Structure 1
Amino acid sequence: MTAVILDRRQVLGAGAALLMGGEAAAAHDGTVHVTMEKLVFLPAEIEVKAGQTIEWINKDPFAHTATVKGGWEVMIPPGKTATRAVAAGDTVEYYCRFHPNMKGRIKVSA
């Protein structure tokens, strides 16, 4: 049997990669994925480039929104997906209008 020994940095790095799922979840087509499950946006913070698309994937049995106060809103039905292309200057805080405790942040870079 071969033993695998990981140092603390490897373990912490792997944990960070899991927590930063948005960066790892960026598809080759430029789409960044955010999952909604158990009343949480995962990841809660994402960084995208202007022109990229965000795809929200609703794994909950009820509808959610991605809502920016005084801005835009994306409706995501249960078990479905919805998208929005981001523009420069779209760095925003957003939430679910139906579940205001669900909060996220989108940072748009040039």
Structure 2
Amino acid sequence: MKKEAEIFVYGAEQICASCVNLPSSKETYEWLEAAISRKYPGQPFKIHYIDIFNPPEDEAAKAFAERVVEEDLFYPVVTMDDEIIGEGNPRLKDVYKKLEEHGYHAE
């Protein structure tokens, strides 16, 4: 494994208007955390939930949260290495592919 992966899930309590009938951003964050832990047991990673309407003081997180709002991206938006890997209804396959590029391997 190259380095511990760090995944960010940007979203809001209110479900995206274009994402009706999909899980909330927080539910997606929890689902991703559980799915990654099951697929890559014993391989550490960090996952962060960022509320786009109340971002932390971290400049990078704050700037991307503003981008999600300004560009009307479908949230939740999942990023890794400053790259969007999922938007609205992220696909596990895409997240797994990015993790495997980092040297993670399924067990």
TM above 0.5 = no
The TM-score range, normalised by the shorter chain, is under 0.3
Q: Larger % of helix: which?
A: 2
Name the TM-score, length of structure 1 as normaliser: 0.23
